[in-house]
Amino acid sequence: MFGFRRDKQAMPAAETALPGRDTPMPVTEAHRITGLPLQPPWPAGCQQAMFGMGCFWGAERRFWQLPGVRITAVGYAGGFTPNPVYDEVCSGATGHNEVVLVVFDPTQIDYPALLQCFWESHDPTQGMRQGNDVGTQYRSGIYCFDAAQQQQAEASRLQFQAALTRAGLGEITTEIVPAPAFYYAETFHQQYLDRNPGGYCGLGGTGVCL
């Protein structure tokens, strides 16, 4: 429909990215597991985190299973196209990553615990791919909402790299940057593996623990 770029593992330039649209994706349902709204305002005292770790279906399930995580939502971030749709992101012409927005209660689970789940649930050494899923939308990324998250993310990367090196594995390619705009994915994708328990997950870790 939108055409595919010849090299899906190369980020497009801002001036060549798809134009997108002014209208956001409608968000009409509550979280299928917790029953809470997928959009703010968030429950009192909760904080946000955002991660990209391959196909967002499996990534989202890893986080909603953690005690203290109140809401998860999948979407697109890190690219140039406003309010993209799934086919546009898959074309490689938006620059967006498939990401999971995580809303958590810091009195029940802290940010380092989320980082541990992130590192151990995928292979962060593969660049613009995750397993058989190839393209810029499958890159590993940590998107930080404040300086404290940035510092903790950078420190955890050093720790996990040391563990990978001891195991004889490669260099981390994860991008760690300030959180960009988050665009909600279509309802079909939200809590996909609850809608389709036998559906494709796409995650495979390195077997190394933080």
Q: What is the pLDDT of residues 129-188, one digit of tens each?
A: 999 999 999 999 999 999 999 999 999 999 999 999 999 999 999 999 999 999 999 999
As a whole number of angstroms, the distance between CA 200 and CA 128 comes to 19
Asked if residue 24 has a cis previous peptide bond (ω within 30° of 0), the answer is no
Q: Options 1.10.10.10, 3.40.50.1010, 3.30.1060.10, 3.40.50.460; which CATH number does 15-195 get?
A: 3.30.1060.10
Active site residue 55: yes
Q: Looking at 55, 90, 117, 144, which residue is catalytic?
A: 55
Task: Please write the tens of the pLDDT for every residue from 22-32.
Answer: 999 999 999 99
Task: Please write the tens of the pLDDT for every residue from 71-128.
Answer: 999 999 999 999 999 999 999 999 999 999 999 999 999 999 999 999 999 999 999 9
Three-class DSSP category at 80: coil
pLDDT of residue 192: 98
User: How many C-beta atoms lie closer than 10 Å to residue 133's C-beta?
Assistant: 16
Site of tokens 């697109």: 76
Taking the model in full, what pTM does it have? 0.96
Q: How confident is the model at residue 1 (pLDDT cuts 50, 70, 90)?
A: very low
pLDDT of residue 6: 53
